[in-house]
A and B are shown apart, each in its own frame.
Chain A
Amino acid sequence: MRGRPALWRIARWLLLAAGVLPAGGSTGTAGQTLTATLSPVGALSTPGTATLSTSSNTFQPFTATVPVSYQIRTTPVGSGTITLQVTSDFTPSGGPAASSGALTYVCSGANLGTACSGTQTASTTSQTPVLAVPASACTGDGGVCSSQNPNSMNVTFTLTDSPVYPTGTYSASVTFTISAM
């Protein structure tokens, strides 16, 4: 019988330590401020390979549509962009060359931001516009953000076809860059 009060004291201290029982019989509350700093972010995804093709054999241009998926968040005073640059021109040499202005593109279907307008000429030396995203924009599931996640758009490339290109298969690398601030 003597052991029971001792056991109860030990159990009570354990319960107090675990916060199950109020100390001294009173109720306490504690507040904690959770702060999340949301920085501007941009991410994008493009297919590894896109094949330019033509349905004609009479020197009509080759075309390929490249889907671009992107997620972005811009600050209230920031903005975002997607640009592209031909980081490796068509090889082997002797065929088409982006450096000579043979590769152009148009942008379409952006569900967040404004796609580039008109026909752009892809460059090997500078980044050219694909998308402009305004301030306070975000990819999301509605509300203040876009209703799509990820966002998407298309870039349709056109490569001129010239008789002077020798027959063969040619490849070039295009790097898309998304920036947010």
Chain B
Amino acid sequence: MTQKKTTLITVCALLAMAGMAQAQNTGTTTLSVTVGPEAALTVNTSTTTLTTSSTTFGNPFTGNTSLTYMIRTTKTTGTGTLSLKITADFAGTGGPSVATPPSTGDALTYTCTVSAPGTACTGSQTASTTASTGLGTWGGGASSAKAGNSASVAWSLTDDPVYAQGTYTATATFTISAT
């Protein structure tokens, strides 16, 4: 009996405590973020192979490089640019060269495609090992899609008979920037 009584008292005490009002308190923090101009680029075609359908020097070597860009420029006053530069010229003796083409008129050229909100370069551009050349531009307040937008470069390399037979490789570096 004594034990039962003790248990009953304990249960009553616990129930009394369980019935107590819930205590609650709050604190508030303001999260602040400053979103600035940004740009990012993905080169989808890591290696672009230039080929020609001709065996009579009638057509240049051509190939396409696919890009995906993300960009956000400052409202009104911002700008964006996408450019490329040949950071490693074609290697190998007797082959094509961007810096020192073996014949007058030999060149690595390209045309651009940049989806909105970008504006692609116009006409044919000649790639350079010493300067960045244009590919696309953006105005103020430009925003790409969350997943990015597309751009591409269509390359054209002169097929000169003086090029020695072989495989030649160059590196093009793309740069995108936003203000």
Contacts and interface: CB of A to CB of B under 8 A. Distances in A.
A35 interface: no
Contacts of A59: 38, 40, 70
A171 B18 contact: no
B28 A175 contact: yes
A169 interface: yes
A54 to B, nearest CB: 9
A76 interface: yes
A50 interface: yes
Interface residues of A, number: 54
Interface string B66-100: 00001111110010000000000000000000000
Given A163-B70, A166-B35, A179 B23 contact: yes
B143 A169 contact: no
Contact of B28 (A87, A157, A166): A87
Given A165-B72, A172-B30, A176-B29, 11 more contacts: A51-B31, A57-B178, A68-B27, A75-B18, A76-B17, A162-B146, A167-B36, A170-B33, A176-B26, A177-B25, A179-B23
Contacts of A39: 20-21, 23
A interface secondary structure, majority: strand
Interface of B: 14, 17-18, 20-40, 70-75, 78, 141, 143-146, 148, 178
A119 interface: no
A51 B72 CA distance: 21
A159 interface: yes
Interface stretch (A3-11, A41-49, A144-152): A41-49
Contacts of A76: 14, 17
A181 B146 contact: no
B21 to A, nearest CB: 8
Contacts of A106: none
B20 A40 contact: yes
Top 9 closest pairs, chain A to chain B, by CB: A58-B40, A52-B33, A181-B22, A46-B27, A163-B144, A46-B29, A169-B34, A75-B17, A180-B23
A170 B32 CA distance: 6
B126 to A, nearest CB: 29
Contact of A164 (B17, B22, B145): B145
A76 B26 CA distance: 23
Contacts of B30: 48-50, 171-174
B32 A52 contact: yes
Given A45-B27, A172-B30, A167 B70 contact: no
A68 B26 CA distance: 11
A77 interface: yes
A169 B35 contact: yes
Given A52-B33, A167-B35, A170-B35, A44 B27 contact: yes
A78 B18 contact: yes
B112 to A, nearest CB: 20
Nearest to B149: A163
Nearest to A95: B35
Nearest to A66: B29
Residue among B21, B35, B40, B78 with most chain A CB within 10 A: B35
Contacts of A166: 35, 72, 75, 141, 143
